[in-house]
Structure formats: structure tokens, C-alpha cells
Amino acid sequence: MLHLPPSSACNYDCLMCEWGETGGLGDELPDAFWGGLRRLMPGLKRVLVSSAGEPLLSPAFRRFLASFPFDESPWFEMTMVTNAALVDERVIASLGRIARSNVVVSLNAATPGTYRRVNRGLPLARIRPRLELLRAAFASGRLRGAFIYSMVLLRANHRELGEF
């Protein structure tokens, strides 16, 4: 298993994370790195894409998702942690090429106001259609794996845990 941050760039500025303020694409893993994963595939079972930044901001990571020969590795599983702001049909099509794609969405709130205060990115109303795209893709079998909402507990959101 590999745990990889494609870059530290992030389009949000969450209360609990420094990457929205300090991250950038200057540390992006290059195309050569992603292409080099091919030689590891006989033994590589899982990749966790998370940690620093928003993975879908990395052009190299998006190219990897769209073009890597995942069909040669029917055992392969990828888990991606995202804020979902950049999820669209192209991302879903790319993830659908992977035998098992787990998508963890960092929501961190149950209400629009708390979402705005904690995540400091797009309004929750703009994220909901992207969540619906993901839900429908998993429900129809276009994506195979787990669809998970996550919440980092903070003073700003802990009262919403039950509603979440």
C-alpha cells in the first residue's frame, strides 16, 4: 500500500488544516512518478490519495486517473480523500476505470453555515450536486467501492455530529 499526497495545493482553507494557506503545486508529484507506478503494480494492491491538499487540483494526478492502464490490475484499489469541489463526470469516468474506488468526502459539517465556517471553500449548496453525482455513480455501479462522508470533530462542528 502507498499513501500519497499528489501535491499540497488546496482550494479550501479549512480551520483544521494548513494546506489552504500554505500549500501549492510546487511540490506536485510529476507525471514520471505516476507512470512509474506501473512497475509496482504486480505487488501494489492499494493507494491512499490524501493528506496534504486536494488531490484533484493536481494536473498530473488527473492525467494518471484518466490514462493509467488500470485494466491490467483487476485487484487494484484506490481511496481518495477529497472536498468534492472538483468532482465532475470526467473524474467519475476516470475513477470508474479502477476495480475499486473508495471516495471519502471531507464534509466536516451537517449544516450550510457550519460547512462555510469550517471548510471555507465553496458553499454546501454547490457541493450537494457533486455529492449526488458520486452517489448516483456508486448506486448504478459505475463506481465500485465505498462512498464515505468524513467529519473532523472541532469545537465549531461537534454539536452537529448526530445530524451529520
**Model confidence pLDDT, tens digit, residues 33-46:** 999 998 998 889 99
Distance CA 110, CA 128 (A): 12
**Model confidence pLDDT, tens digit, residues 31-88:** 999 999 989 988 899 999 986 889 999 999 999 999 999 988 999 999 999 999 999 9
Structure confidence at residue 27 (pLDDT) = 92
Structure confidence at residue 17 (pLDDT) = 87
Residues 48 and 5 sit within 8 Å (Cβ to Cβ) = no
Q: Which class for 114: exposed (0-12), middle (13-18), buried (19 or more C-beta within 10 A)? A: buried
